[in-house]
A and B are shown apart, each in its own frame.
Chain A
Amino acid sequence: MKFLDEYRDAGLARKFAGEIHRMTTRPWKIMEVCGGQTHAIVKFGIDELLPKQIELIHGPGCPVCVTPLEVIDKALEIASRRGVVFTSFGDMLRVPGSSTDLLSVKAGGGDVRIVYSPLDAVKIAEQNPAKEVVFFGVGFETTAPATAMAAYQAAQKGLKNFSMLISHVLVPPAIEALMSSPDCKVQAFLAAGHVCTVMGYEEYFPLAKKYQVPIVVTGFEPLDILHGILMVVQQLESGRAEVENQYARAVRREGNQPAQILIKRVFQVVPRKWRGVGEIPQSGLGLANEYAAFDADKKFGLTDHHVEEPAECIAGLILQGQKKPHECPAFGAKCTPEHPLGATMVSSEGACAAYYRYRRNQI
């Protein structure tokens, strides 16, 4: 397949790795922000090709993992009601809430349906006027354009039986929160390529400057990640802290303008709690006042409640790059993909799931 196989060529990957070995003179800690990149790094063993001095720290970029427990509980409550069709991306179904998960609600008779696109949820609402159709709108800037379009089209069609439980999150405020923590060890970032296809990378210039960290927008294939690491190491070794774009085949500096226009129209920036991490100011998207009629939170009169994470799960530390999955005592023992204690063991983008799948036997 074009634009795919050539980026997975083992010989070329070794060439990049050789160049990184040649360049590296000191220890460096580099965070890949996106869980999709974490997955590729562990799957293809990219970290094992690197010099010992380079440590890759896995970041918080797993939307399933950071959706707060309270929001999962709200989803479970709505999905259990009669007359409701609850629609969601497949990866949210096994995420544990405080007592159950969406899959169990479905097994117990709840009408929970997996959709590929939020527009499918709009279609279900049109076809089922007697039912309340709710879409679980989660994800980073990559899924926000789709959720925004669903709200926009639902408004155009005048749908009264459609609403959304929104828990969208934004990447740059999370980077800011990580960097401003005194425990932060990260010296450079690989920024998430697909987030930048939507938003561009203007937002990263002030961050690179303020914290003096190189930030390289990076793709998802092995050669992309190695190339991104090489660009970061070149900057670190020469004392630069700039924003560069490794993933120029898909990312433009200004991002996708039509998508940004609709996001601005449908959403407003709100404070958002990240599971395991806590509240980060201005780090989420919520529905703008004009779209309040589609807010499931309001429609179902759900109130905020506070629930504690299971004490054994250290996913919060993992999402902030302070611990690796195998350092969790529950990893692979009490916590497995079949019986997950935390969301990072469920999602394909979660670091615990990636280590379980590809590294279990080495640990």
Chain B
Amino acid sequence: MCLAIPGKVVSISGDDPLTRMGKIDFSGVIKQASLAYVPEVNIGDYVIVHVGFALSKVDEDEAQKVFGYLKQIGELGELERESP
């Protein structure tokens, strides 16, 4: 119930913030989800959807940080190896 994967918003219908719906693409499977709780979301954004509701927009910059950290430890590892 708490598992969810990110999907891409491919279209949006409705103007009323409470009933705004989006078509969300999960790796080729398209599902409808309510956008009532994510008023800031636009077409092309990635969202996390739970039981038919988008609850959060995926932040691209933050998404890179996990890999940034890995790069950092990768470089540190190399430094350690280089130093005598």
Most buried by A among B6, B8, B39: B6
Most buried by B among A4, A89, A138: A4
Which residue in A12, A36, A224 is a CB contact (below 8 Å) of B3?
A36
Let me know if A197 and B56 touch, CB within 8 A. Answer: yes
Let me know if B74 and A15 touch, CB within 8 A. Answer: yes
Complex Cα–Cα for A139 and B51 (A): 10
Those of A1-27 within 8 Å (CB) of chain B? 1-4, 6-7, 12, 15-16, 19
Let me know if A349 and B34 touch, CB within 8 A. Answer: no
Contacts of A348 in B (CB 8 A): 3
Complex Cα–Cα for A262 and B66 (A): 32
Let me know if A195 and B55 touch, CB within 8 A. Answer: no
Q: How many A-B residue pairs have CB under 8 A?
A: 125
Which residue in B8, B36, B50, B70 is a CB contact (below 8 Å) of A143?
B50
Those of A32-61 within 8 Å (CB) of chain B? 34-36, 39, 61
Which residue in A39, A118, A198 is a CB contact (below 8 Å) of B55?
A198
- The answer, yes or no, to whether A95 is at the interface (CB within 8 Å) is no
- The answer, yes or no, to whether B12 is at the interface (CB within 8 Å) is no
Let me know if B55 and A227 touch, CB within 8 A. Answer: no
Interface size class of B (residues with CB under 8 A): 35 or more
Those of B20-63 within 8 Å (CB) of chain A? 26-27, 31, 34, 36-39, 46, 48, 50-53, 55-56, 58-60, 62-63
Nearest opposing residue in chain B for A156, CB measure: B18
A119-B34, A149-B34 known; A227-B2 Cβ under 8 A: no
Let me know if B6 and A89 touch, CB within 8 A. Answer: no
- The answer, yes or no, to whether B10 is at the interface (CB within 8 Å) is no
Query: Given A1-B6, A34-B2, A116-B51, 7 other A-B contacts at CB below 8 A?
Result: A89-B51, A116-B52, A139-B1, A139-B51, A142-B50, A192-B2, A194-B50
